[in-house]
Amino acid sequence: MRQVFVAPQAAKWFSRRVVEIAHVNPVAAHKLIARFEEIQRLIAEFPEITERGRKKNTRKITMPPFILMSRRIGDDIEIYAIRHARQRDALAPRRTIDPTED
């Protein structure tokens, strides 16, 4: 089965938002984490289920109130950016990954 992984910068951004939410509403933070994990399972199984991104080989995943941007790297999928829906689009990954890297 293909792997879904989260780029370090995206994981850090998401973690900070979860912590902010947890201070106000711990139950909501746990639900957000569960939704994020479910999204990862779904796109691992059905990578084309999401909307095409603006850049070639990218996908846009709506997980209100967040937007996740992903791309394929070989058979795997990387969530390379996460933003609040009110923020400007993340058009392209900042870091280029060589698909032959291990």
Nearest to 93 by CA among 34, 31, 6: 6
How would you write the pLDDT of the chain (102 residues) with one tens digit per residue?
789 999 999 999 999 999 999 999 999 999 999 999 999 999 999 988 888 888 888 899 999 889 999 999 999 999 999 988 776 654 545 555 555 554
Q: Which two tokens stand for residue 88?
A: 């400007």
Q: Which domains does the chain have, with CATH numbers?
A: 4-84 (3.30.2310.20)
pLDDT for res 2: 87
pLDDT for res 1: 72
Nearest to 59 by CA among 75, 74, 77, 45: 77
pLDDT for res 49: 83
Q: What are residue 40's DSSP bridge partners?
A: none
Residues 47, 75: contact at Cβ < 8 Å? no
64 Cα distance to chain centroid: 12
Q: What is the pTM (predicted TM-score) of this model?
A: 0.79
pLDDT for res 93: 52
pLDDT for res 14: 95
Place of tokens 């293909």: 2
